Amino acid sequence: MQQTLTSIPLTAIGFAKTDMPDEEIARCRRTLVSEIIIEPQYESALTGIEAYSHLIVLFWMGRTPPFENVLLHPSAEASAPRVGAFAMRRRNRPNPIGLAVVDLIQRVNNRLIVRRLDAYDQSPIIDIKPYDHYDTFTQLRVPAWSNSAPRTP
């Protein structure tokens, strides 16, 4: 039942723009301000987006090596269990689509100024969706190795 969706090409609706080198982006992400440049023919599809404070951005992680289906220690600690690609947020995935929840700082015509986008410079943008209350879940269970904690408002 393996299906390869070759008949459905993805279209870049725009691209990411940042001066930050690829290898610095993960570390600087929380404060990183980037631009999303939307192709002119899709500018009108941004109409009304300014009403949202947060957006979900899907982007193509083209500079990722081909998928290796291996189990890895998800954090730097070798004591963490080895887990699979779908239990991690690392870039090496069967379909290298990145997902970032970003702050929309400003829209200027076909350009969105955003904070917290971890797309590399020139990454193709695939979709932008408004982040709404129904995307917010606060009662989470996550593994100990994730080292994340509930955000303090």
CB-based contact 52:130 (threshold 8 Å): yes
Asked if 21 is part of the footprint of a copy of itself (rule: CB under 8 A), the reply reads no
Burial pattern 72-104, b for ≥16 Cβ within 10 A else e, equals bebeeeeebeeeebeebeebbeeebebebebeb
Kindly report the backbone phi and psi dihedral angles of residue 112, in degrees, each rounded to the nearest multiple of 5, phi listed first.
Answer: -110, 125
Go through the chain and tell me how many residues it has: 153
Contacting residue, 76, 78, 95, 108, with a copy of itself by CB under 8 A: 95
Kind and range of the H or E element at 27?
helix 22-28
Subset of 103-142 contacting a copy of itself (CB under 8 A)? 124, 126-142
Subset of 46-65 contacting a copy of itself (CB under 8 A)? 46-49, 51-54, 56, 58, 60, 62
Asked if 4 is part of the footprint of a copy of itself (rule: CB under 8 A), the reply reads yes
Write down the least CB distance from residue 57 to a copy of itself, Å.
10
Write down the least CB distance from residue 72 to a copy of itself, Å.
10
Write down the least CB distance from residue 145 to a copy of itself, Å.
8
Kind and range of the H or E element at 22?
helix 22-28
Asked if 86 is part of the footprint of a copy of itself (rule: CB under 8 A), the reply reads yes
Asked if 28 is part of the footprint of a copy of itself (rule: CB under 8 A), the reply reads no
